[in-house]
Chain A
Amino acid sequence: MSWSINTVSKNLKRCCFAAPAVVLWICASVGAKAQEAALRAPSGAVAGAATSIGTSGSGSATLYLTGPATALKRDVQLGQDISLSPRDLHSAGRYLAIVCSPECSSVTFFVAPSKPSRLTFLVHPSRAPVGLNDVISGVAIPFDEFQNMVIAPSNIEFQLAAGGAAPTSRTVQTHDGVAWFRTNSGKTAGALQVIASWNDVSAKRVVQQVASDPCSLRIKGQPAAKGILVETEPVHDCSGNPVPDGTIVTFTAKNGNQTSFVDAPVKQDVARATLLVKGPVVVSAASGVAMGNELRLNGKE
């Protein structure tokens, strides 16, 4: 943490460039005045913690304090420390204190964020197919109780737990307030719980690991009262996970130059459809990139 003392007369330009617009008129109006009251910036000021600015000289004066979300004016006594309450310093960042009596002196100081009290945790994607490399990523940003981003390095622990598997964890130090990870999706479909934690502060997200594309399709069929009834065997991806319900399987029946299609959704691992065809037909199925076997059937009249 660093601090500096500036006299208004010597550093007028710098003061005016750096200070918020609210105090520009103060700088301009007092720029030519000589310094009398010297100010001592607080060292190690922390957001939400009381601190004080040391002063020298005597008599009454007016304090102007501006910060990232603060602007206040107060009567103070020179020669005494100026107390700043926790409410005055909620926001981390650069502050400028000016004391006028009537000559003005100023000091800038920095307020650091306090310790993390909340983790903002973004995990992407919310759904990830199984068996893909580096498909899941997470970013954690620690914030203190006053919503200040904690820039000081902190060790964030990321824990990943999928159903039935032992949880894995890794610790990542924040860099400029950000810690992140990237990982592969697992082999089993289901919820992947991802927890980011710093001491007793944690945030939990869930990534749904879903089956990948269907790997192979096997179909079977039989004549029905009208046409033929065809259905798949349970449809799985290449890791053996059943594909999600609703996955479309397209059944095609060809009879010479006549073609019949049904887009049937998978229900409880199986897709089935009735094809209203007559006579001998060749039936096939496809879903995504997977093609099924061919069946030769006879549709009832």
Chain B
Amino acid sequence: MKRTLPIVILLVVVTAVLLFVGLTGGRMSGPVGVASGAALPGFSASASTPEQALNNYLLDIQRRDWDRAFSGIERTSDTLNEPAFIQEWTGSNGGLRSFSNLERFDTRPLHATTSDADMRVRLHWTTPVGPVENVRDFHLTHRSDSWKVVWEEKPAPNVPAQIVPVNYLRWDLVSGSAGEDWGSRSVDAPKVRIVSMNAIDSAQGAIVMGEVVNEDTIPAFVNVNATLVDGRGSAIDDESSFDKILHVLLPKQVTPYRIDFPKVSLARVKNVRMDVKATLVPASSDPVIGVMNQKLETDAQGHPVLHGELLNESGQVVNIPHVIASFYDNNGKVVWVADGYVERALMPQATETFAVEVPQSLAGKVQNFHVVVNQYSLEKS
């Protein structure tokens, strides 16, 4: 007993000292200009710098401490209430954000004065479709003795109550009765064709990409597989297009596809075997999603980006829109295929912005592009 008491006292003192250090000086010791989203859970220091203010704010978001996060912002409009603020961060209507968690973030100052600051944040989300990163700029302002995040985000427009007449096409499959003769029940698989294929080397490995068209008069469920073959005729690797393709193709519809071969150099490849599989599936032509106002520009970070708006022309909610874009050179050859998920659900008759990045090395070659939209609706799944 005599020996344990001093040890216990020592442990309590050391813990108290470490807590004090962690709460006061710990944040100052990181690399200048770049902060990272990790802190002692349950504690937020007062915001004496813009970095601290933003860090505290994002930590509250990460912990889903909405009251605290909302109290720490400077609102530019009274229309932004707490439910709208929460919805902005947690998503709604079964959108991808609804199933995402903010894993971490990296902040970087852009501009700062004594009264204002601009910060850029790279947000790392975990989602069911894999990690998603997005970059956001935040404006901060100095109020009395602390910095606050200015919330300028416009709340998502409310979709008015309405009746949207829908007269869409649907294809059902009917199987013949079991008693029929052999040869009388067969319906040919849809006729699809690979119209272009291009293989390139990238930092991540070899990439095979191109386009497939449904030449038939019925919908097709399409998947493209590729096998890389070396000089001796042995298969190096085989992969499928997985989610980088519009799987359900209506008649005469064209989809880009992209097949990644991580850690495979194209120098080893002598031949590429392509295989497109098409299956007859029940399908619907609804919803029709328009891709509006697409523009190839350079974003704030200097990356070439194709951005535009998706317009849901039907009356059905598209929970997770998935954009796949093919980029062509001046000969019409597909030089790149990129995809991206839109985090917000696409409401009927409403628009949602999207952006897909083009590699810097290819940006100069791109003369044209085509975008298709995959849609995942909870009602259908």
A residues with a Cβ closer than 8 A to B are 118, 120-127, 203, 205, 210-211, 213-214, 227, 243-249, 257-265, 267, 273-277, 287-288
User: Of B184, B188, B289, B311, which one neighbours A125 at CB under 8 angstroms?
Assistant: B188
Contacts A126-B186, A205-B183, A258-B295 given; does A248 touch B251 at CB 8 Å: yes
Task: Choose among B188, B218, B290, B313 the residue that contacts A261 (Cβ–Cβ < 8 A).
Answer: B290
Across the interface, do B250 and A265 meet the contact criterion of CB distance under 8 Å?
Answer: yes
Looking at B184, B217, B308, B351, the one whose CB has the most chain A CB atoms below 10 A away is B217
Question: Do the beta carbons of A203 and B309 come within 8 Å of each other?
Answer: no
List residues of chain A with CB within 8 A of the CB of B356. Answer: none
Does the CB pair A244–B370 fall under 8 Å? no
B293 A287 Cβ-Cβ under 8 A: no
Determine the distance from Cα of A214 to Cα of B216 in the docked complex, in whole angstroms. Answer: 12
Q: Answer whether A247 and B217 are a contact pair too, CB < 8 Å, given A127-B188, A260-B293, A261-B294.
A: yes
Question: Which A residues lie within 8 Å of B187 (CB)?
Answer: 126-127
Contact B313 A262 (CB under 8 A): yes
Quick check: B292 and A277 within 8 Å, CB to CB? yes
Kindly count the residue-residue contacts between A and B in the assembled complex, taking CB atoms under 8 Å apart.
Answer: 113
Q: Which residue of B lies closest to A206 (CB)?
A: B184
Query: Closest approach, in angstroms, between the C-beta of B125 and any C-beta of chain A?
Result: 28
Closest to B372 in A: A263
A276 touches B293 (CB 8 A): yes
Contact A246:B294 (CB < 8 A) given known A121-B183, A261-B371: no
Q: A125–B289 Cα gap in the complex (Å)?
A: 33
Asked whether any CB of chain A lies closer than 8 Å to the CB of B270, the reply is no
Pick from B181, B250, B295, B369: contact of A247, CB below 8 A.
B250
Could you mark each residue 167-188 of chain B with 1 if its beta carbon is under 8 Å from any beta carbon of chain A, else 0?
Answer: 1110100000000011110111
- Tally B residues with Cβ within 8 Å of A: 39
Per-residue 0/1 for B282-302: is the Cβ within 8 Å of any A Cβ (1 yes, 0 no)? 000100111111111000000
Cβ contacts under 8 Å, B351 to chain A: 276
* Contact (Cβ within 8 A) B251 A246: yes
Q: Which residue of B lies closest to A245 (CB)?
A: B169
Within 8 Å by CB of A120, from B168, B169, B183, B290, lies B183
A15 CB to nearest chain B CB (Å): 37
Cβ A276 vs Cβ B290 within 8 A? yes
Check B370–A261 contact: CB distance below 8 A.
yes
In the bound complex, how far is the Cα of B219 from the Cα of A263, in angstroms? Answer: 14
B215 cross-chain contacts in A, Cβ below 8 A: 288
Evaluate contact between A248 and B293: CB separation under 8 angstroms: no
A274 in complex: contacting residue of B251, B291, B311, CB < 8 Å: B311
Q: Say yes or no: B252 contacts A123, CB within 8 Å.
A: no
Given A127-B216, A274-B290, A288-B252; A246-B295 close (CB under 8 Å):
no
**Bound complex: CA of A298 vs CA of B296, how far in Å?**
22
Given known contacts A248-B250, A259-B294, A274-B313, A120 and B285 CB-to-CB distance under 8 angstroms: no
Q: Which of B310-348 contact A (CB under 8 A)?
A: 311, 313
CB distance from B95 to the nearest CB of A (A): 20
Which residue of the partner chain B has the closest CB to A128? B188
Q: Which residue of B lies closest to A139 (CB)?
A: B183
Would A244 and B291 count as touching, CB distance under 8 A? Answer: no
Q: What are some 17 contacts across the A-B interface (CB < 8 A)?
A: A120-B183, A121-B184, A123-B183, A125-B188, A127-B188, A213-B252, A244-B218, A246-B219, A257-B295, A259-B295, A259-B369, A260-B308, A261-B370, A261-B371, A274-B313, A276-B309, A276-B311
Q: Is the CB of A267 within 8 A of B167?
A: yes
| Main SS at interface, chain A | strand
**Bound Cα distance from A59 to B295, whole angstroms:** 102
A257-B295, A276-B293 as given contacts; A122 in contact with B253, CB under 8 Å: no
A265 & B169 in contact (Cβ 8 Å cutoff):
yes
Nearest chain A CB to B355 CB, angstrom units: 14
| Interface residue from B188, B285, B308 paired with A124 (Cβ < 8 Å) | B188
Bound Cα distance from A191 to B146, whole angstroms: 78
Contact partner of B290 (CB less than 8 A), chosen from A245, A267, A273, is A273
Residue-wise interface mask of B (255-292) relative to A, using a CB-CB cutoff of 8 A (1 in contact, 0 not): 00000000000000000000000000000010011111
Out of A127, A214, A265, which one reaches B288, CB within 8 Å?
A265
Residues of B within 8 A of A205 (CB): 183-184
Question: Could you tell me if B250 and A246 are in contact, using CB atoms closer than 8 angstroms?
Answer: yes
Nearest CB in chain A: distance from B247 CB, A: 15
Identify which of residues 183-236 in chain B touch chain A, using a CB-to-CB cut-off of 8 Å: 183-184, 186-188, 215-219
- Complex: how many Å from CA A263 to CA B291? 9
The answer to whether B285 and A265 have CB atoms under 8 Å apart is yes
Instruction: List A contacts of B292 (CB < 8 A).
Output: 227, 260, 275-277
Q: Tell me the bound Cα distance from A261 to B373 in angstroms.
A: 11
- When the two chains form their complex, are residues A257 and B296 in contact, meaning their CB atoms are under 8 A apart? yes
Which of A123, A127, A287 has the most chain B CB atoms inside 10 A of its CB?
A127
Among residues of B, the one whose C-beta sits closest to the C-beta of A261 is: B291
Docked Cα-Cα span, A123 to B351, in Å, equals 48
* Bound CA–CA A118/B291 (angstroms): 56
Nearest opposing residue in chain B for A290, CB measure? B252
Residues of B within 8 A of A203 (CB): 181, 183-184
Interface contacts beyond A246-B285, A273-B313: sample of 11 additional A-B pairs, CB < 8 Å, sorted by A: A120-B183, A122-B182, A123-B183, A126-B186, A127-B217, A246-B169, A259-B295, A267-B285, A273-B288, A277-B293, A288-B215
For residue A214, which residues in chain B have a CB less than 8 angstroms away from its CB? Answer: 252
Q: 8 tightest A-B contacts by CB?
A: A262-B290, A265-B285, A122-B183, A248-B253, A244-B217, A260-B292, A210-B217, A276-B292
Kindly state the separation between the CA atoms of A124 and B169 in the bound complex, as whole angstroms: 27
Chain A residues with CB under 8 A of B371 = 261
Q: Are B252 and A127 in contact (CB under 8 A)?
A: no
CB distance from B272 to the nearest CB of A (A): 26
**In the complex, A210 Cα to B188 Cα: how many Å?**
13
Closest to A276 in B: B292
Interfacial chain A residues near B186, Cβ < 8 Å: 122, 126
Kindly supply a per-residue 1/0 record for chain B positions 344-381, scoring 1 wherever the CB is within 8 Å of any chain A CB and 0 otherwise.
00000001000000000000000001111000000000
A244 pairs with B295, CB closer than 8 A = no
A243 to B252, CA, bound (A): 11
- Determine the chain A residues whose CB is within 8 A of the CB of B169 once the complex forms: 245-246, 265, 267
